[in-house]
Chain A
Amino acid sequence: MPQIIKGLNIPVNRVEGDLEIRVDVTDHRIDDAWSSGTMFRGFESMMEGRGALDGLVITPRICGICSLTHLSAAVKALDTIVGVTPPDNAIRLRNIALMAEIIQSDMRQTILMYMADFTNTQAYQSHPLFKEAMDRYQMLKGTSVLDVIRKTKRLIEVIAIIGGQWPHTSFMVPGGVTSIPDTPKLMQCHVIIDQFRNWYESRVLGCTIERWQAVTSLKELDNWLDESPKHQNSEVGFFLRFARKAGLDTLGTGTDTFISFGNFPFPQNTDVVPLNQSNGDACPEKGHNRLLTTPGFAKGIISQNLDAARITEDVSASWFDQKECALHPFDGNTKPYASGNTGEKYSWVKAPRYDGLPAETGPLAEMIMDKNPLFHDLVRQKGATALIRQLARITRPAMLLPAMGIWLNEVIAHRAEPFYTSVKTIPDGQGAGMLQAARGALGHWVKIKNRKISHYQIITPTAWNGSPRDEGMNRGPWEEALKGVVLKDLENPVEAGHVIRSFDPCMVCAVHTLKKDGGTGKRFHTGWTF
């Protein structure tokens, strides 16, 4: 007789204090899953009625890890409303700072959060690489843990130099940036980025970025792994060896739909080329219309142009009061409404949809839109598994670091040129700031009336990935990805953790409370080790 368990709670709160996953399990196999955001934050409501520029200061506080990304989205929305294109130097400086934030996030998430699961003694003590995993990723003292904190701590100095203030910089303003660092400071950024790139190549990839970019298929990935002990012992090599043995290449396939808003607008004059070579073909002579990473929506690896008008937020299963269940973010609102015990609503996260469909976002979505040959082949052959999703994250810096270096050189060479176009006032109007954050597609939809914010809606990457059901009862991407996952030990569901963490969830980061005898989170489940 099959063993059926309804409503098993999977505590993933080592990652997030405000995420609950509930699953139905039959004979250790997950049949269905519900993802619930358990905290209402309401930044959108907080913004209404405030001054037009207040989003630049308040929205970066949404997240401690990707605060600069929120600043970027907020300023982009205002740039659109004003109708201003920032000067080349402003675009370059904004891009460099944002890249630093994304790269540090990718590295910390991979080593400190994702690989940490490889030290789960209950699950992996008999894995042949367990001892090495402990040496590398053991909490507070693993060699890779200490290394990545040291290196990313230094990389963040680039943001401090460009922003002129740290933490909580607001150096991006409508029309550009508030200042440009002097040449010695820019040279200091150069040294930091060069040193980081050297570390990334030697320790994370085990090869040069150029060698890694030459890996264009699953077969070539296998050859690369066999080619050298340096490759095998790098973080990427170790990840592949451990993860394959643990079966991460067989679980976590989601909705098979992907969305990316694209990121890193080009200055008018630049030597950087888009990652997707066809990006910008329509207007090759105008640099500012191009982006480094391509916006788009894809079913499998077949992508199409992104039409922002097709984005909606569905509240059928979310605790919000809205006249229609799905509205475009320019039309929707954020009015909390706890509906009682009907069972239909189960999350404080709305359900973003593109053309009515759920869509996964993040580094893998970027690789798909950019037509990266390796990831196209991996998805074609294996599907979008937890392994492939995480591999995209750990190797994304290889796509960003070269452009980062070029743009910095261009700022140094053209330092005397403008970094700001004067913006006297923010007129009435509406604009959207859409870009790729570390975790995926982020959008701020803003309306200004009488110099005040009359409307502010934000869709975060985790809202896409961790969305609840919609009107059509379609699951969100990681709800779907959990279906079919086999939990060997129901008391230690490490497999579910691998799947959820491959999406790099970020429900909320704002409440840090030192709690006596309990850890640092208000919902910390002590003793949980996955």
Chain B
Amino acid sequence: MDHDRAGLLVYDRLSTKKLPEHTELIEGGVSGLNLLCFLENAATVVFVDTVSGFTDPGGVVVLTQHQIETASHPLHYGHDAGVAYLLAMMPQVCEMPLPRNIFLVGLEGQCSKKTINSAATLALSIIESKIQKGLVKAQVD
């Protein structure tokens, strides 16, 4: 199972689950910079996306906003602008309030069914742990 469609598979998995109230599940797909509007007016945002170089192939990691921002250097905009560029621009172009918590559930390398399930479970558990504190958006790329 290749990792190009990992986000979509996690999205499908989450679509079948009952999400907590005030949670919005969004298929971010290839929208890049056009996802900025979804960062506005949410207390917590959880991205799910493929990553490279963070753990062993087939593994799943959870990165904080700080870890995402320091992991790469999204200097220029391009057609491949991803989560790191989005977060770099967010404070300067988004309307307040901005999310208090941002996480990335990252899938590394080739993804098995088990990896997809783990990522969906992790994303859901982050949402559930934060749900007491405000709105949550689950963003799947």
Q: State whether A513 and B82 are in contact (beta carbons under 8 Å apart), knowing that A64-B30, A149-B93, A526-B73 are contacts in the complex.
A: yes
The residues of A that contact B129 with a CB separation of less than 8 Å are: none
Residues of A within 8 A of B19 (CB): none
In the complex, B128 has a CB within 8 A of chain A: no
- For B36, the chain A residues whose CB sits under 8 A away are 149, 153
If the complex has contacts A519-B74, A520-B74, are A67 and B53 also in contact, measured as CB distance less than 8 A?
no
Whether A522 touches B93, Cβ cut-off 8 Å, given contacts A149-B36, A512-B80, A516-B71, is no
Asked whether any CB of chain A lies closer than 8 Å to the CB of B132, the reply is no
* With contact pairs A14-B78, A512-B80 given, residues A64 and B32 touching in the complex (Cβ less than 8 Å): yes
Find out whether the CB atom of B4 lies under 8 angstroms from the CB atom of A514.
no
The answer to whether B43 has its CB under 8 Å from any CB of chain A is no
Q: B82 contacts A509, CB within 8 Å?
A: no
With A516-B54, A519-B72 already in contact, the answer to whether A168 and B37 are too (CB < 8 A) is: no
A168 touches B81 (CB 8 A): no
- Interface segment, one of A138-146, A268-276, A321-329, A390-398: A138-146
Residues of B within 8 A of A157 (CB): 37
Bound form: Cα–Cα A514–B85 in Å: 10
CB pair A167 B76 closer than 8 Å: no
**A512–B77 CB distance below 8 A:** no
Interface 1/0 per residue, A488-530 and B, CB below 8 Å = 0000000000000000001011111111111111100010000
Judged by a CB distance under 8 angstroms, whether A53 is at the interface is no
Q: Is A399 an interface residue (CB 8 A)?
A: no
Residue contact A520 to B84, C-beta cutoff 8 Å: yes
For the side of the interface on A, what is the size category?
35 or more
Distance in angstroms between the alpha carbons of A510 and B141 in the assembled complex: 10
CB <8 Å contact, A519 and B79: no
A522 to B72, CA, bound (A): 12
Bound CA–CA A14/B34 (angstroms): 19
From the candidates B27, B49, B71, name the one contacting A167 in the complex (CB within 8 A): B27
A112 engages B77 (CB within 8 Å)? yes
Query: Is B92 engaged at the interface, CB distance under 8 Å to the other chain?
Result: yes
Interface residues on B, range: 35 or more
Interface pair B79/A514, CB less than 8 Å apart: no
**Residue in contact with A15 in the complex, picked from B49, B79, B89, B93, CB distance below 8 Å:** B79
Interface status of A424 (Cβ within 8 A of chain B) = no
Q: Does B33 contact A (CB under 8 A)?
A: yes
Nearest-neighbor residue (CB-CB) of B82 within chain A = A512
For A517, the chain B residues whose CB sits under 8 A away are 53, 71-72
Of the residues A113, A508, A516, contact of B77 by C-beta under 8 Å: A113
When distances are taken between beta carbons in the complex, the residues of chain B under 8 Å from A520 are 72, 74, 78, 80-85
Contacts of A260-290 to chain B: CB distance below 8 A: none
Q: Does B29 contact A (CB under 8 A)?
A: yes
A526 and B75 alpha carbons, distance in the complex (Å)? 10
Q: Does B106 contact A (CB under 8 A)?
A: yes
- Determine if A149 and B78 form an interchain contact, defined as CB atoms under 8 angstroms apart: no
Q: How far is the CB of A498 from chain B (nearest CB, A)?
A: 15
B52, CB-defined interface residue at 8 Å: yes
For A81, list chain B residues within 8 Å (CB): none
**Is there an interface contact between A64 and B52, defined as CB atoms closer than 8 Å?**
no
Closest to B88 in A: A140
A515 in contact with B72 (CB, 8 Å):
yes
**A510 CB contacts on chain B under 8 angstroms:** 4, 30
Instruction: Tell me if A16 counts as interface (CB < 8 A to partner B).
Output: yes
B127 at the interface (CB under 8 A from A): no
Interface residues as binary, B60-79 with A (CB distance below 8 Å gives 1, 0 otherwise) = 00010000100111111111
Which B residues are CB-close (under 8 A) to A192? none
For window 8-47 of B, CB contacts with A under 8 Å fall at 26-37
Instruction: Chain B residues near A133: list those with CB within 8 A.
Output: none
Is the CB of B122 closer than 8 A to any CB of chain A?
A: no
Interface centre among A63, A146, A150, A515 (most CB of B within 10 A): A515
B103-126: which residues lie under 8 A (CB-CB) from chain A? 104, 106
Q: How far is the CB of B40 from chain A (nearest CB, A)?
A: 9
Q: How far is the CA of A508 from the CA of B35 in the complex (A)?
A: 18
Q: A451 contacts the other chain (Cβ, under 8 Å)?
A: no
Cβ of A207 under 8 Å from chain B: no
> Within 8 Å of chain A (Cβ to Cβ): is B135?
no
B76 touches A14 (CB 8 A): yes
Known: A64-B30, A149-B89, A512-B141. A518 touches B80 (CB 8 A): no
Kindly state the separation between the CA atoms of A521 and B82 in the bound complex, as whole angstroms.
Answer: 8
Q: Are B141 and A108 in contact (CB under 8 A)?
A: no
Complex: A173 Cα to B141 Cα, angstroms: 25
Q: Is A116 an interface residue (CB 8 A)?
A: yes
Supposing A520-B81, A521-B80, A522-B52 touch, asked if A512 and B74 sit within 8 A by C-beta, the answer is no
Cβ of A65 under 8 Å from chain B? yes
Chain B residues in the interface with A (C-beta under 8 A): 3-4, 26-37, 49-54, 63, 68, 71-85, 88-89, 92-93, 104, 106, 141
9 extra A-B contacts, CB within 8 A, seeds A16-B78, A513-B50, A515-B71? A16-B79, A167-B35, A509-B32, A514-B82, A514-B104, A517-B72, A518-B53, A520-B72, A522-B52
A-B pairs with beta carbons under 8 Å apart, 5 shown = A17-B79, A65-B79, A140-B74, A514-B82, A520-B74
